[in-house]
Each structure stands twice: as C-alpha cells, then as structure tokens.
Amino acid sequence: MRSSRRSFLTATGAAAALALTGSLPEIKSAAAGWTGRPDRRDPFTLGVASGDPLPDAVVIWTRLAPDPLAPFGGMDRRPVDVEWQVAEDERFHRVVRHGSVKAGPEASHSVHVDVRGLRPWRHYWYRFRVNGQLSPVGRTKTAPTADTQLSKLSLAFASCQAWWEGWYTAYADMAKRDHDVVFFLGDYIYEFGIDRGIRPHSNEPYITQQTVTLDEYRQRYAAYKLDADLQTAHANAPWIVTLDDHEVVDNWADEAHPSAPPAQFRVRRANAFRAYWEHMPLRLAQLPTGPDMQLYRRINYGRLAQFNVLDTRQYRSDQAYGDGTKAPGPETADPTRTITGDAQEKWLLDGWSASQARWNVMAHQTAIARLDTKDGPEVLVPMDTWDGYEASRNRILGGAAQRKVRNLVSIAGDLHRSVASDLKLDFTDPASATVGAEFVGTSISSGMDGEDLDAGGATLLRENPHMKFGNFQRGYVSCTITPQQWVSDYRVVDKVSVQHGTVSTRAKLLVEDGRPGISEVQE
Amino acid sequence: MNIPRQTVIAAGTLVAAALLGSSSVPKATTSDVAVSVAPEQLSVVGLPCFPGMLNLTMTNTGSQDRYADLTLDPTGPLQLSRTLFSSWLPALDPDQPVSAPVEVRVPRNAKPGSYKIGVEVDRQRVTVPVTVNPLPPKGPGDNLTLGEQATASSTHGNFTLCGAVDGDKDSEHWDTLTGWNDGTRAAFPDTYDVALSTPATINRVELYTLDSAKYPARVNGLRDWDVQVKAGDTWQTVDQVRGNTVGHVTSTFAPVQADAVRILCLDGNDHTYSRIVELEVYGS
C-alpha cells in the first residue's frame, strides 16, 4: 500500500494543501514581447460570475486571461493586484464593499472574493479592475435571512453543455428571465470532443483533445467560458454549482475509471477538481485538497426552501454489472453499495430531521426515479443513475418518508432529456406511496437538436407509470416557488444547431404544498 | 514548502484569493520535483503527419503534495503540441511519477540539423537534443503515405488523425499508440484521406484494419469500403472491398495518377466505427 508521507492530508484545512509555485522564475507569457509596458489586452475575456449566496455574503469571481487558450491564459507568471467593488446600484454610485486581492498563476489568476457584510435578499452589482481596465458588471442577489417567510423564489436549473453539439441559446433566454438563483447540476465541460461539431472551431484540440493534465482542464474551461450567452447567464444571477462525470471523465465513480489504475486516476481527478474550483464561483471551503473536494453543501432561502446540493460522483460505489443499461439484480440491490457515500447520506438525512423549510430540495446530478428503458415485461435500467444504487435510493426516499420531510423535490440533469416523475417508495408498485416530485432538466446543448418525443422517450412514458412528462429537446427549467406551490416551466429550444433558435415553454408542471408528487401537467 | 494555515479576515471580508497568493513565499533553493524526458534525445523529419513523441515526467520527491508547472522552450523550426504541462503531484512512498506526452513537429522545408527543447520545472532545466533529419525517399517501392497529411470526416477524441500513417501497423498498439477511429458512432460513410507530397503513379493500397487478440477484425474491423484516388478535382473508385473479415487487405489496380488516396468507409463488422491501423500506398 502506498502511504502519504505527510500529515496534513488528514489534519488541516484546504489552504495548507496548496503547493506553491512562487519560486518559479518569471517567464514571458504567450504574448511574448511584453516587457513591462502596460498590458492593454482585455484580461476579462471569460466574464464574471457570482455564487453560493448567503444572507450576508456572496462569492464574486473572475479570471484574468488576456489570451485565454494560451498557457497561463496569456498572463505573465507573476501575481497581479485585482480591485473589486460591490454596489447597491448598477452605476456604482453606492459602493458598499470594495477591496483588492492578488491573483496568481497557481490558481490561473482566478479571483474568488467571499464578499461579507451584505444585506439579505437584495440585488448587488459587482465589477473588477486591473491596471485601470474594468470588467463587465455582474448582478447578484443575496439569500434571505433564515427566519424569512419568503413569498416567492425564482430559480433556474441547467446541465450538460457539450460545446460542439450546439449553441447556448437556452442561456440567453435564462438571462432574460429574472431568476434569483441558478443551479448548475453537472457536465459544465466535456473532457473530450468530436471534431465535426455544430460550431466553428469544433475540431480544435482545445475542444476535442482528452483533458488529463491541469493545463488541459484549465484550457477546456477557458474554451467553454468564452461563450457569450454563458457569460451573460453568469453575470445575471448567482449560481450554485455541482459537478457530474464529464468535469473529470465519462462515468467515473470515486477512484474507479477504466482509463487508469486508481493511483493514476487520483492525479487526473485532482487536476480536474483544481481547474473546476478555479473556474467556478465557489468558496474556499470547496477548494480541493488534491483529489478530494467538499462539494456537497446546504443553502437556505429563508423558511421557503432548503437546497441540499449533492455530490453523487466522489463517494459512489463503482457502477453495477459493468455499467451500461442492465436488468436490476442482486448487485443493484446490494445494501453495501452507495451513490452518496455514508457520510453524505447521514448529512442529508440529519439535515432533513432538522429542516424547517417548506420545500426540501435535492439539487444533484442524475435521476432518482426508475427509468425502465425497455418495452414489455423485461426491465432494463441505467446503471449510472440511482437505478444502479437501489439500496441508496431506498434509504434516502425511505428516510425522507420516515422523517415526514415536507415537500420533497429533486432537481437533476445528466439524461439529456426532460423527465418529470413522482418519487415512489417502491417504483415497482404503482400503488406505493409517493414521497416527492422529481424534475430532471434536459441538456443545454448535449445531444444536438433532439425532437419533441423520440422513441426512447415514448418507451419511458409507457414503461414508467410514475413518469408524468418527457421531452427530448434542449433547454433548461425555470421554476417559481411560493409557499403554496412549485411550478416548473420547461423551456425548450427549437434548434441548437443554429444560432438564435427560438425558446418556448413546452410544459408547466405543478406541485402543491402538502401533496407529494406532481399534481398537474399543463401542456 | 507550504503556507501555514491562515485566516485572512479584514473589515468583515474574507478574501479567498489572498490565501492563494504566492508573492510572499520564500524561493526554494532546490526543487522537490524530479523531471525526466523520454527518450532523452529525438530525431524528427519534416513530414506533416509524423510527429516525434516525447514523454514528460514529473515526480514529487518531497514530503508534501503540490502542483507544478513544466514549461517547454523549443529552438529553430521545432513546433510543439504543448509548451506547458501542469499537474498535481502527490507525495507518495514509493514515488508516483506523473507523465504527459508532447508531439514535436517540423515543417517539410525545415533545415536538417541539431536543435533543442528546454524543459523547465522550478529552476531546474533539462535540455533535449532534437535532430531534424532529411526527408525520407518517396520513390518506387516506398510507402507514399507514410507521415503525409491525413484528413478525415471525423476523428474520435481518443485517437489522432495521423494514427493511420505513422508506420505502426501493429493492432496490439491500437488506441494507446496508433490507429484512426472515426468520431461518429454508427454513422456511415466515413472518409480517411491522405494527400501525397507530389502526384505519383500508384497501383497498390495496403489497408490494415483493427485485428488484435482482443479486437479481432471479424468483430471490430472494417467490413466494406471503396478505395478512391484523386487526380485533379475528381475522385475515382479503383477498388471495392465487401464483407471483409481479416486484418490486412491488399487492393491492386491498373496504374493511375494520384494526388491523394481516400478510404470511403461504408460499414464495420460491429456497425459502430471505422477503424484503420495503417494505410499504405505504393507505385509501380
């Protein structure tokens, strides 16, 4: 067995885990020839973002990258002072917080400022300045205080944005609608690409090449974040993010992936996590320590809603029966297998025991509801969703029922299709109790245009009586939550293969307070 | 060397980025990252699809996990697929090397001679000598596609476009070292073209499709294809292969003038991908 020579792996906080490159000589950047004259290139090519709002705080983010696809984003390898401002108005007449931080090469010259001392449940505007150059202005919003009886919350959730498979038109629509917060539920980047894609430059190595090393993951994030619609969506609302498989590699499970033995895979995971943190508006609490990252966390919107943001990749058992789509069996039912890991499962259940929220939301990667994909009596279910981890599903849904969790709602992605379902205690028995509602959102672009209802979607609707709605186009979900009801508005794009497709509401689904499951589908 | 754990709180504002700053860190006198490059020297030629390959390795020999940046600085006509390799490096016992490849290319008109690539991590520098050799002969009896520019309808992300003209026809090296695999699953046709460096009269094409112990041709190899040659602006089919189940197929045809050769892939034995390990073209 390999062992660590050092102590802080288990002992101390994330900051200590950073190995520093401060001793590196300063070399010329990719934009060679710069010799100390003021750099007039725009450093804010990747936009701005904010995230993880609290009643008194929000993280604001940017990354300095004047030549975003070049090594070090085209930055010289020296730290740079970045000034920031947070104001109560978009013209910055009333600046309430400001400061200066150093952005250095060890974090890709990214900036994560955890702005404290803000007032609850109000909009703020923020911007950055480097060498007299101003960033775009971002708008964000704090959460309400814990005891607030919030009358209405507006949120959007999205996932799966394969760059070469379509334009991010859904984000342009998302930004036009006024959301208090946006959830991103995984597959922000893809670690691979296909060299014949929808967009120009789809065949460039910065899109297609397998990302393994840290410089490669950093470059992939830069390539994706150059998209103007994505930048607009980030700049309009705070995001709460979690990751799924493609931020690392297709269908990884804890330390298991067929591409490499665990010791080698841990290095890839560490590189992927590092680049992820650098490019997301996350707090220092989420900074990875090598291949480990504390991503599951809880965010409250007063008494109205509690969001449990899950991580069902990092701690899961390897997929049953070699992954793929298989019949359920002893392996999928094995109580020693888990999709959340023991600690996260306990954290989730304990949190529910203490929750005073009207709506208790799981914001996570993939479908909990059973998805029988095979017509007729034979049952074939995906091994990568909660179907492959039935014991986990029973413990979580059973645990929610035992604790009489009020208004359980699951929001997820991964499937590249919209699927709305009742969550059942026993999915094999239609008469079994419904314990919650699940809204799986489709992809932003992954899978290209799609169609309203494909053969696979028709089969799902026939074979899964708990499923109430399906659609196979691209888009996102816009939700309005009040104490009385939850409304999920499935926004779909007619085409992502062309720029400026048309976005419309495909269906509205309602959940009523005190009545588990989906109570109405308006098509 | 590590930063002591610290909390920076100023005026109610926790500045996360400050914890990541490195400006105050004292400079190391020696590095705890061992660097190696394999091979230690390299020879390349100015063929467009025939890069030299170096494997870069960093090993953490210290007592703490860290991140490190390896930079590459080529001289003369050398063109690198990357000039940076950054990674997390765990401090483990025994040591765990972390590697990444870099491709080295030179233009066809590069002047033969001696060049070098500087490889640097922290303050340590390793120099890799690179010899640019004259272009290989492409006369009668020589494989005219070796290292020449390939283009394809698509290429799967795990493969390189040049994998079928790299002189390696060993199917056991499939996926990791050689071969071309298209990028569109279960969609045919696919095309794989190679442009000849100068127009030539050709009469034979040797196609090696995937045929290894693990992936036999009758299960995973190319099944149906046309061999086409281009002269001027027109493509002409010179052979058709149907129902193939073996790893190596020779197409011979009447001598024809060609600028380029295309394999028009119509189906594979598993009906998913087109797979070519090597494509060779000969003249009379």
Least confident among A22-36, A211-225, B75-89, B112-126: A22-36
Contact A117 B13 (CB under 8 A): yes
For B176, the domain range is 150-283
**Mean pLDDT, chain A, integer:** 93
Q: Comparing C-alpha atoms, which of A234, A179, A238, A187 is closest to residue A489? A: A179
Nearest CA in chain B to A289: B65
Question: Using a CB-CB distance cutoff of 8 angstroms, which residues of chain B are in contact with residue A105?
Answer: 22, 69
CATH number of the domain where residue B159 is located: 2.60.120.260
| B112 is a domain residue | yes
pLDDT tens for residues B233-281?
999 999 999 999 999 999 999 999 999 999 999 999 999 999 999 999 9
Q: In Å, how far is B36's CA from the nearest CA of chain A?
A: 17
Q: Is A132 on the interface with B (CB under 8 A)?
A: no
* CA–CA dist B76, B74 (Å, integer): 7
Number of domains in chain B: 2
Arithmetic mean of pLDDT, A421-431: 96
Q: Where are the beta strands (DSSP E) in A14-170?
A: 48-54, 57-63, 80-87, 95-103, 110-115, 123-130, 133-134, 138-141, 153-158
pLDDT tens for residues B157-194?
788 899 999 999 999 999 778 999 998 899 999 999 99
**B89 and B171 assigned to the same domain:** no
Q: Is A101 on the interface with B (CB under 8 A)?
A: yes
**B222 and B97 assigned to the same domain:** no
Question: What is the band of B30 on the pLDDT scale with cuts at 50, 70, 90?
Answer: confident
* CA–CA dist A286, A282 (Å, integer): 6
**B106 and B74 assigned to the same domain:** yes
Q: Comparing C-alpha atoms, which of A167, A276, A289, A291 is closest to residue A211? A: A276
pLDDT tens for residues A57-84?
999 999 999 999 999 999 999 999 999 9
Neighbours of B284 (CB within 10 A): 12
Indicate whether A14 pLDDT > 70: no
Question: Using a CB-CB distance cutoff of 8 angstroms, which residues of chain A are in contact with residue B15?
Answer: 99, 101, 113-114
Provide the percentage of residues in chain A whose pLDDT is more than 90.
90
Is A22 or A157 the better-scoring residue by pLDDT?
A: A157
**B162 and B121 assigned to the same domain:** no
* CA–CA dist B238, B251 (Å, integer): 8
CATH number of the domain where residue B122 is located: 2.60.40.10
Provide the percentage of residues in chain A whose pLDDT is more than 70.
93
Nearest CA in chain B to A273: B88
CATH of A48-143, picked from 3.90.79.10, 1.10.260.40, 2.60.40.10, 2.60.40.380, is: 2.60.40.380
Instruction: Report the run of H or E that residue B100 belongs to, with start and end.
Output: strand B97-105
Please name the residues between 95 and 134 in chain B that touch chain A, using a CB distance below 8 Å. 96, 98, 100, 120, 122-123
Nearest CA in chain B to A71: B84
Question: What is the band of A38 on the pLDDT scale with cuts at 50, 70, 90?
Answer: low
| B175 is a domain residue | yes
Q: Is B20 on the interface with A (CB under 8 A)?
A: yes
**B192 and B165 assigned to the same domain:** yes
**B99 and B163 assigned to the same domain:** no
**Mean pLDDT, chain B, integer:** 89
Contact B63 A263 (CB under 8 A): no
Provide the percentage of residues in chain B whose pLDDT is more than 70.
90
Arithmetic mean of pLDDT, A313-336: 97
pLDDT of residue B9: 31
Entry pTM = 0.89
pLDDT of residue B284: 74
Arithmetic mean of pLDDT, A244-273: 96
* CA–CA dist B95, B73 (Å, integer): 27
| B212 is a domain residue | yes
Question: At which of B73, B101, B133 does a domain end?
Answer: B133
Question: What is the band of A37 on the pLDDT scale with cuts at 50, 70, 90?
Answer: low
Q: Is A272 on the interface with B (CB under 8 A)?
A: no
Instruction: Report the run of H or E that residue A398 belongs to, with start and end.
Output: helix A390-402
**B113 and B157 assigned to the same domain:** no
pLDDT of residue A23: 29
ipTM field: 0.91
Contact A102 B21 (CB under 8 A): yes
Q: Is A38:B31 a contact under the CB 8 Å cutoff?
A: no
pLDDT of residue A332: 98
- List the domain boundaries for chain A: 48-143, 153-522
We find that the CATH architecture of domain A153-522 is 4-Layer Sandwich (3.60)
| B216 is a domain residue | yes
Q: In Å, how far is A118's CA from the nearest CA of chain B?
A: 10
Question: Using a CB-CB distance cutoff of 8 angstroms, which residues of chain B are in contact with residue A23?
Answer: 1, 25-28, 31, 122-123
Nearest CA in chain A to B175: A259
Contact A82 B17 (CB under 8 A): yes
B243: buried, middle or exposed (CB in 10 Å: 19+, 13-18, 0-12)? exposed
Q: Is A95 on the interface with B (CB under 8 A)?
A: no
Which range in A7-11, B13-17, B107-111 is most confidently predicted, on average pLDDT? Answer: B107-111
Indicate whether B123 pLDDT > 90: no
3-class secondary structure for A329-397? CHHHHCCCCCCCCHHHHHHHHHHHHHCCCCEEEEECCCCCCCCCCCCCCCCCEECCCHHHCHHHHHHHH
- Looking at the partner chain, which of A30, A263, A284 has a beta carbon nearest the beta carbon of B96? A263
| B56 is a domain residue | yes
Q: Comparing C-alpha atoms, which of A109, A116, A113 is closest to residue A130? A: A109
Contact A113 B13 (CB under 8 A): yes
